[in-house]
């Protein structure tokens, strides 16, 4: 099997391979205790706390490993073969003057073989995350901006005759790996309708979780 590592993850893969044995063990423990959660940032923070690695380095490594598990599972390639293919692929982008040592390569390979076999903990999270993110557009954040708009009469040199309060809902989302956003204009009545819809959705979410309790684990 031959793999091509996405360019965005090449530096992350090399950083992971060069982690000390202690840091790799801390990462392994963080993945073992993930227990099927979708809160990947919590896993990254646990890894950062245990290893001393900055969170801005720990988080990309954790996300990369989740992507690897999903790729391995969907391809149905045996874990050993997949781990070997990952390490072979690094040769194509390793800096010529700073290639991975045999110890780093073997350590990374052994780690991947163990991590990618965690089907009941880390593996559940990776598959669930893959399912939840397999959407055309993914919400990232929102913000409501409120403005007061004056309403002038015929004589624009005079004070405004009235004002209108306008709220603009900005929704940020991810589409095909690109961050985008759009605005929706709202008034007070629209805000109440939006609030009602969100509250209704939260009640349905709680009801569905209660219904599924004891039947199947519901990740969030």
Q: For position 37, what pLDDT does the model report?
A: 60
Asked whether the whole model's pTM tops 0.85, one would answer no
- How far apart (Å, rounded) are the C-alpha atoms in residues 3 and 86? 6
CA 28, 216, 64: angle at the middle one, nearest 5? 30
Q: Is the confidence at residue 32, as pLDDT, over 60?
A: yes
How would residue 1 be classed by pLDDT, with cut points 50, 70 and 90? confident
Q: Is the confidence at residue 176, as pLDDT, over 80?
A: no
Least confident among 15-24, 89-98, 127-136, 174-183 = 127-136
For residue 176, what are the CA distances in angstroms to 4, 70, 142, 192?
19, 18, 19, 32
Q: For position 125, what pLDDT does the model report?
A: 82
Q: Is the confidence at residue 70, as pLDDT, over 80?
A: yes
What is the CB neighbour count within 10 angstroms for residue 179?
Answer: 11
């Amino acid at each position: 099997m031959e793999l091509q590592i996405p360019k965005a993850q090449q530096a992350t893969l090399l950083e992971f391979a060069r982690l000390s044995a202690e840091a790799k063990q801390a990462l392994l423990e963080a993945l073992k205790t993930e227990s099927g959660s979708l809160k990947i940032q919590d896993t990254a923070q646990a890894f950062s706390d245990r290893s001393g690695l900055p969170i801005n380095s720990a988080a990309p490594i954790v996300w990369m490993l989740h992507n690897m598990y999903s790729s391995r599972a969907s391809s149905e390639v045996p874990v050993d073969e997949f781990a070997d293919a990952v390490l072979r692929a690094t040769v194509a982008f390793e800096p010529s003057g700073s290639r991975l040592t045999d110890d780093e390569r073997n350590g990374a390979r052994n780690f991947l073989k163990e991590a990618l076999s965690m089907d009941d903990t880390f593996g559940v999270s990776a598959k669930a995350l893959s399912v939840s993110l397999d959407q055309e557009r993914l919400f990232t954040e929102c913000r409501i901006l409120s403005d007061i708009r004056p309403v002038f009469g015929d004589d624009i040199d005079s004070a405004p005759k009235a004002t209108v309060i306008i709220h603009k809902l900005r929704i940020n989302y991810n589409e095909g790996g690109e961050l985008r956003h759009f605005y929706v204009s709202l008034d007070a009545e629209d805000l109440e309708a939006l609030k009602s819809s969100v509250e209704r959705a939260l009640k349905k979410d709680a009801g569905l979780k209660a219904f599924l309790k004891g039947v199947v684990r519901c990740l969030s």
